[in-house]
Structure 1
Amino acid sequence: MSQLFGEVAGAYHEARPGYPAEIVAAIRAYHGGPPDALVEVGAGSGLATATLLGLGAPTTCVEPDVRMARVLAERFPQVEVVTAPFEEWTPPPGGVSVLACAMAWHWLDPATRNRRSHDALRPGGTLAVFGHRYDYVDPGQRAAIRAAFESVDPHQRNDRPDGWFHDDIAGSGLFTDLRVPVFRRDLPLDTAAYLRLLGTFSPQLRRPPALRDRVLAAVRAAIDGFGGTVVLDLRTTLVLARRPA
């Protein structure tokens, strides 16, 4: 499943929203200055990479999907790209200063992701896990879009609760000094942009092609019905944790 998004590798980078620059300042302040080496796990097409490069550290991106890795390497030739699952990647001797993971923590093996992350860091190193939470500013828009989905595909998706990856990292008992800054912004999208975004989400990619088209048609009609623009409430949660020295 971690390679599901290769199907839309080109569109993914254009459709998905990027990450706020405040993440860089938060990581730098928590770490105590710029790191001397950073590894990003599950880097995809490089949406988070573009922000993390603001740390000014030599960066290695570990990405299991060869199609995503190809896009990543083309966009960021200054980055070392390792095409491999995190579970098969070997950290450098002595570990890395910062290990980051954006919107991919749930794709890592839950039985080993915390231990592997701990062991990849040098003592005192920083783990930075972050991701978006999508909601709607207008409750009426939320209700209309949900009704459109359910009219075509009544299967209910079980969203993970807010803060789930904080609880996962804290529950491992392997890290100290956990902090959770949250960044929020309104994101207006016209109908076409919202449908492009929808086409990059795993529930839509898992649907058979005919059902995908029916979902897109229903959602398109819903957004056009309230003027052709939807405003997302986009919250980005950053979990910072430290490997004990």
Structure 2
Amino acid sequence: MTTPGPVPPPTHTPTHAAAPAPTPARATTHTARAHSFNAAAAQYAAGRPSYPPALFDAIGELAGRPLAGARVADIGAGTGIATARLHARGADVIAVEPGAGMAAEFRRTRADVPIVRGSGNALPLADHCADLLTYAQAWHWTDPARAVPEALRVLRPGGALALWWNTDALDVPWIAASAARVQRHFGLDIAAEKRDVDAGAADPTGRLRFTRREIRWSRRVPLETHLANIGSHSIFLTHGEEHSAAFLAEERRHLLAAFPDGAVEETYDTVLLLATTPTASTASTAPTIPPPPHPPTA
């Protein structure tokens, strides 16, 4: 893969309308949550779940090429949980991560994969250098009005953009009960934030045509790992240590009642959205798509 250096911004002007600017309070909250992981990178790496093999099978299938040998940029790579799986599949991976703390943890544990600082809104990568761009738990921290054109700039013709999230399986009673307790304590439905993932939210401009897959899987972990996983989410990291600790202490009591042996069975539905870019021949004959008539409201 082309190693990044300072890359000039795209010379073309995006043909879609920009999304309305968020209110200052909402933007501040979103920014604070996005940067909160840097102070808890080790906890994030230790507690967060990985992803099932079937996810990477689906990515290869929908992208129309195997991961082995593919030039992949993993954006918002964090501590490298997804990056390591892509690398293990034989992909030629480079990681892109905006946060200093997360990047430092990545370098400590993933020395075999290069990482550069940058974000999806302004990728530090050359034009048309990647077969695949991946965002694991990261696309919602971007501004799609900027991140979509950047993805199209960096992907080669016929390349693919893959976005995915581990979402809680709310049809499992104990998981639904836990999500409800989080909502009551913090006043925010985190499960809904993850559930409400669709193509319209991922790309309000409609320039990309996503295919959606859901893959259910589970892992069995010690109670303390499960609590570390919960506590590594941005809503906990931004609400103050005392407020979060009070919830986790009460949650430990609930979970020990459900799992008296201290081993928690976490169940996830991994949601995958994948879109491919036109091939060179298709792009040369495709009609021009006009911009949407109104700014997107998502």
TM tier, shorter chain? Answer: 0.7 to 0.9
Task: For structure 1, list consecutive stretches of 5 or more residues without a partner in the other structure.
Answer: none
The code of the aligned residue for 2:86 comes to L
> 2 CA distance for matches of 1:123 and 1:204?
41
The code of the aligned residue for 1:194 comes to H
What is the aligned partner in structure 2 of residue 62 from structure 1? Answer: 96
The answer to which structure has the higher strand fraction is: 1
Matches within 5 A, 1:14-33: 14-33=46-65
Matches within 5 A, 1:137-216: 138-140=172-174, 142-143=176-177, 145-146=178-179, 148-149=181-182, 153=185, 155-157=187-189, 159-160=192-193, 162=195, 164-169=197-202, 171-176=204-209, 178-216=210-248
Paired residue secondary structure (2:38): helix
Q: Which stretch has the larger CA shift, 201-210 or 166-175?
A: 166-175
> 2 CA distance for matches of 1:109 and 1:69?
21
Change (3 A) 1:123 1:233: same
Following superposition, the deviation at residue 147 of structure 1 comes to 5.8
Q: State the number of aligned residues.
A: 242
> 2 CA distance for matches of 1:39 and 1:140?
36
Report if aligned partners of 1:223, 1:229 keep a CA contact under 8 Å in 2.
no
Matched, 1:90 2:127: no
Larger Rg, first or second structure (1 or 2): 2
> 2 CA distance for matches of 1:114 and 1:107?
13
Matched, 1:71 2:110: no
Matched, 1:104 2:138: yes
Change (3 A) 1:141 1:31: closer
Report if aligned partners of 2:168, 2:175 keep a CA contact under 8 Å in 1.
no
Following superposition, the deviation at residue 138 of structure 1 comes to 3.9
Report if aligned partners of 2:125, 2:154 keep a CA contact under 8 Å in 1.
yes
Change (3 A) 1:223 1:80: same
> 1 CA distance for matches of 2:175 and 2:63?
40
The code of the aligned residue for 2:145 comes to A
> 2 CA distance for matches of 1:160 and 1:3?
18
The code of the aligned residue for 1:164 comes to V
Q: Give the percent of matched residue pairs that are identical in Structure 1 and Structure 2.
A: 26
> 2 CA distance for matches of 1:208 and 1:105?
25
Following superposition, the deviation at residue 61 of structure 1 comes to 0.6
Following superposition, the deviation at residue 170 of structure 1 comes to 5.5
> 1 CA distance for matches of 2:228 and 2:61?
35
Change (3 A) 1:33 1:161: closer
> 2 CA distance for matches of 1:174 and 1:141?
35
